[in-house]
Amino acid sequence: MRTPPALFLLALLLAAPVQAEIYKYVDENGQVTFTDVYRKGAKRIDLPGAPAPLPAGKSARPASYAPSPADFPRIDPATQKRRDDIRRQILQDELAGERRNADEARRQLALGERLQPGERAGDATYASRVRKLRDAVQQHEQNIGAIQRELGNLK
């Protein structure tokens, strides 16, 4: 009796080894724990016969799970708050300036939409001038939206 190829493939898939990362964690009391969940201070264990780790820059887990290197500089909360406050102030200043620029661009558009003596609405120079002025207004409005999103992302 012949085994169907689909059944053979299914058996092969079920027999494939499971891939998991193993970590060794030693707590403050010297208690050693082996786990597949990363904890701060845990060391990754390379098991013989286990698949090779992914190349640099590639991670099986989201970047939010990647631990910082042990010698990575830490910033105290007060310093981080000052930095966040400075960033917020810079973004608010940029927002105010961009709003002024958008108002000026709208004023220029209103003036530019007026026909000059001897000019018709169908002229290429008129259409080009108005298009450039409208593009400037649109760019300032997009900048305002982007700055507002950045402000919304701050803690």
Mean pLDDT, residues 134-143: 95
Higher confidence at residue 45 or residue 66?
A: 45
Question: What is the per-residue pLDDT for 40?
Answer: 83
Closest CA to 143 of 110, 97, 86: 97
pLDDT in tens, 55-112: 555 555 565 566 778 888 888 899 989 999 999 999 999 999 999 999 999 999 999 8
Residue pair 44/22 in contact by the 8 Å Cβ criterion: yes
Residue 123 in this model has a pLDDT that exceeds 70:
yes
Name every residue whose Cβ is closer than 8 Å to that of residue 21 and which is 6 or more positions away in sequence: 36, 38, 44, 60
Mean pLDDT, residues 7-33: 71
Instruction: Please state the domain extents for the chain.
Output: 20-74, 77-115+122-153
Residue 16 in this model has a pLDDT that exceeds 70:
no
Q: How far apart are CA 135 and CA 155, in angstroms?
A: 33
Strand order from edge to edge, sheet including 22-26: 32-35, 22-26, 43-45
Is domain 77-115+122-153 given the CATH code 1.20.58 in the classification?
Answer: yes
Residue 49 in this model has a pLDDT that exceeds 60:
yes
> How sure is the predictor about 38, in pLDDT bands with cuts at 50, 70 and 90?
confident
Q: Find where tokens 């409208």 sit.
A: 134
Q: Quote the pTM value.
A: 0.51
Q: What are the CB-based long-range contacts (under 8 Å, 24+) for 30-38? A: 38/65, 38/67
Q: How far apart are CA 65 and CA 69, in angstroms?
A: 12
Q: How far apart are CA 103 and CA 107, in angstroms?
A: 6
Q: How far apart are CA 50 and CA 48, in angstroms?
A: 5
Residue 22 in this model has a pLDDT that exceeds 80:
yes
